[in-house]
Amino acid sequence: MNVVVLVKYVPDPQGTPELDDAFLVVREGTEGALDPGDEYAVEAGLRLVETHGGEVTLLTMGPETASAALRKGLSMGAHAGVHVVDPALRGSDALATARVLAAAVRRRPFDLVLAGVESTDGSTGTVPMTVAQLLELPSATFARALSVEDGVLRIERPTDLGFDVVEAPLPALATVTGSAPEPRYPTLKGIMQAKQKPVERLALADLGLSAEALAPTQRVVGLTRAQERAAGEVIQAGEDTAKRIVDLLAEAKVL
Amino acid sequence: MDLSETAEESMLREQAREFLRARYPIQRVASIADGAGFDRHAWQEVAALGWAGISAPEDAGGAGLGFVEECVLGEELGRALFPGPFLTTVVLTLPALTGAPDLVKEVVAGETVATLAWLGPSGEPGATRFPIGAGLAQDRPGLYGSAWFVPDLALADLAVVAAEGPAGPGLWAVRLDQDTISRQDLPTVDTTRRLGALFLEGALGRALAQGSDAERLLEHLRDRALAFLAAEAVGVASRALEMAVEHARTREQFGRPIGAFQAVSQSLADAYAEIESARSLVRWAAASVAARAPESARAAAAAKALASEAAVRTCERSIQVHGGIGFTWEHPLHRYYKRAQWIQAFLGWPAELRARIAASLLDGPGDENERV
């Protein structure tokens, strides 16, 4: 089976991304990495082709530096990469990104598209499902386990009480959570082979898309810092201790 | 000679650093150092990534890379104070096992931890060049004698033993589970890399190399060890400097970060300059040793002399910059300092190495093959 994994190059996941004057994430001249969430999707894809045969192709859209994300995934064991890189794509919103990715996926036969749940920088969490919609694929989201049998994708989706089993006929799209099996570390051989693996570079024209069709439909108009977590309340032992605790629990709607 | 880092080497470095940061945070290293000193399961995990077979040929299950890549890994292992037998098993013994493919396979798979026993009681290979005798006048043939300062001896399954046999010097592969063998732990400053003494009383071994082959092999192993330890020292120093810079940026006194005071910032700038010089020497040494070039003994000795000094001095500067906290057991700096001191002491102090380099340059003008 042919698995396409959508991957993203994000600024250092441990740090706080910087924003420019237009509220766009600064991507040039910063340290970055393959989004750690996407590594789970790569791992899931590798496991599926190890069982069923086939290839894992990584697909990314991003500036030149984004090739580092492909290289990381290739060193984990993915077979090929596709890099959509075009200056006109700078600042693309989630919908434009999904259009580009869908157009790139469509270019060759595939059975399954995998993605992380959301990126650690943009965090919209909307791109995978939009890609599924554009490709008219069923989407099975938030998988902690995936399997394929007789042309049917089956995932386990954690819920508050346990998990749902969701099935979809292939071709399909699934998003993979961080409770799926841990991503593997690249072996030395994997690292050394990564550079020899094929990476196709595509521009917008190759995808038959025009910059106008990708004009943003969303725009960030303002930015507010998240409130710092306030100090907790310490309740001293005394006569009204119990009452104060009960009041707080009621206030938090626990009682 | 182009000594700059290739794209593949940079990737190897990045991936190794990421793995070590995730799997060997300093807290884990500390608990291993204060406990058994070794985690066998962890070594197998590292072997599964191909690290134990980094320079073993691909048909032996290795990655088929070379000594330059070993040194790239070495710097990262030093940065992380990696508490595993990479120095002993991979750097010091693997090349001696070439004639025993079954042993190479065990080592590459991480099943067998191996070390090299070739130092006398003075810590020098030269003093009593081969401290262990082979098949001497005892009533049964075998290896007899003692070897000192054997790194990772307590956890090793196999030792490559340098001995003087009837036909001259030789190297033998000796399994350490024989009852003709005893081992003794020696007090070691860096508990992530412990030393031991090995006593053989008629132990059986498998011949690996004899005569001048054995001598050449030992010289090559020493060059490898010196260059690799220098790479490790650069890693140790870089990390100690990073910690100092971080502290100097955030710790405030008299209303500003202490890094704003010249006494602090200039000391750290000097450390940086020393580390970068050492890094360049390490690249030269790694490339020379990898190519088995005539100057490899000098290059390896020079790199180890400078890099180990840089590491010790950087740790000392870092401890001073950290102030009181740098002196505590809880702070990890003392662990870096101890590794730096271990590296500086092992296989020759900087002054001894420089004396050897000088002697080889002055006594044998024009002869590049002169051993250091």
Chain B residues in contact with A186 by the CB 8 A cut-off are 15, 49
pLDDT value, residue A72? 93
C-alpha B239/C-alpha B227 separation (Å) is: 19
pLDDT tens string A21-43: 877 777 776 778 899 999 999 99
Kindly compute the dihedral angle of the four CA atoms of residues B63, B66, B71, B74, in this order, to the nearest 10 degrees.
20
Asked whether residue A242 is domain-assigned, the answer is no
Asked if B15's CB is within 8 angstroms of A185's CB, the reply is yes
Q: Residue B356: in which H helix or E strand, if any?
A: helix B350-363
Contact A188 B8 (CB under 8 A): no
Instruction: For residue A131, give its domain range.
Output: 2-214
- Is A231 domain-assigned? no
Of A19-33, A47-61, B78-92, B254-268, which gets the smallest average pLDDT?
Answer: A19-33
CA distance B117 to B162: 6
Q: In this structure, is residue A19 part of a structural domain?
A: yes
Give the pLDDT confidence score for residue B128 in this predicted structure. 37
A225–chain B nearest CA distance, Å: 23
Q: What is the pLDDT of residues B206-224, one digit of tens each?
A: 989 988 999 899 999 999 9
A93 in a domain, yes or no? Answer: yes
Contact criterion met (CB < 8 Å) for B49 and A194: no
Token representation of residue A57 = 């192709």
For A103, residues 6+ apart whose C-beta sits below 8 A from its C-beta are A207, A208, A209
Please say if the pLDDT value at position B367 is more than 60. Answer: no
**Chain A residues contacting B via beta carbons under 8 Å:** 71-72, 75, 185-189, 191-192, 194-195
Considering only A68-72, A100-104, B365-369, which range has the smallest mean pLDDT? B365-369
In a domain? residue A46 = yes
Q: What is the DSSP string of B81-118?
A: T--STIIIIIIIIGGGGTT-HHHHHHHHTTS--EEEE-
Contact A36, A13 (CB under 8 A): yes
Q: How far is A145 from chain B (nearest CA, A)?
A: 23
Asked if residue A183 is part of any domain, the answer here is: yes
Q: Do A188 and B51 touch (CB under 8 A)?
A: yes
Please state, in angstroms and rounded to a whole number, the distance separating the CA atoms of residues A125 and B2. 46
Q: Does B358 touch chain A if contact means CB atoms closer than 8 Å?
A: no
Under an 8 A CB cutoff, do B15 and A192 touch? no
Q: Tell me, yes or no, if B44 comes closer than 8 A to chain A by beta carbon.
A: no
pLDDT confidence tier of residue B315, bands split at 50, 70 and 90: very high
Predicted confidence at residue B125, as pLDDT, reads 62
pLDDT at B127: 36
Nearest to A2 by CA among A78, A100, A115: A78
Q: Could you give the CA distance from residue B278 to residue B313 in angstroms, rounded to a whole number?
A: 12
Return the CATH number at A178.
Answer: 3.40.50.620
Give me the count of residues in chain B: 372
The ipTM (two decimal places) reads 0.80
Query: What distance in Å separates residue B361's CA from the closest CA in chain A?
Result: 39
CB contacts < 8 A, A to B, total: 36
**Residue A47 or residue B36, greater confidence:** A47
A187: nearest CB among B7, B18, B49: B49
Q: What is residue B68's three-state secondary structure?
A: helix
Phi, psi of B126 (to 5 degrees): -80, -30
CA end-to-end span of chain B: 22
- Cα distance between residue B199 and residue B180, in whole Å: 8
Domain count, chain A: 1
Over residues A173-183, the pLDDT tens digits come to 999 999 999 99
Q: Does B65 touch chain A (CB under 8 A)?
A: yes
Distance, CA of A152 to CA of A112 (rounded, Å) = 10
- Considering the domain boundaries, does residue A223 fall inside one? no
Return the amino acid letter for B26.
I
Distance in Å, alpha carbon of B348 to nearest chain A alpha carbon: 32
Contact B7 A192 (CB under 8 A): no
The minimum CA-CA distance between A25 and chain B, rounded to whole Å, is 23
Q: Is B49 on the interface with A (CB under 8 A)?
A: yes
Q: What is the pLDDT of residue A165?
A: 96
Chosen from B9, B13, B14, B73 to mutate, greatest number of chain A CBs within 10 A: B14
The answer to whether residue B59 neighbours chain A at the CB level (below 8 Å) is no
What are the CA-CA distances from residue B344 to residues A139, A190, B271, B282, B312 (Å)? 59, 34, 16, 15, 8
What value does the mean pLDDT take over residues B4-9?
88
Sorted by sequence, the CB contacts under 8 Å of residue A116 that are 6+ apart come out as A6, A8, A35, A37, A38, A39, A40, A41, A128, A175, A176
Q: What's the CA angle centered on B210, arms B162 and B225, to 5 degrees?
A: 45
Closest to A75 (Cβ–Cβ): which among B7, B11, B51? Answer: B11
Q: Which domains does chain B have, with CATH numbers?
A: 7-108 (1.10.540.10), 114-210 (2.40.110.10), 214-363 (1.20.140.10)
Alpha-carbon A35 to chain mean position: 7
Is the bond preceding residue A171 a cis peptide, omega within 30 degrees?
yes
User: Is residue A110, in this structure, part of any structural domain at all?
Assistant: yes
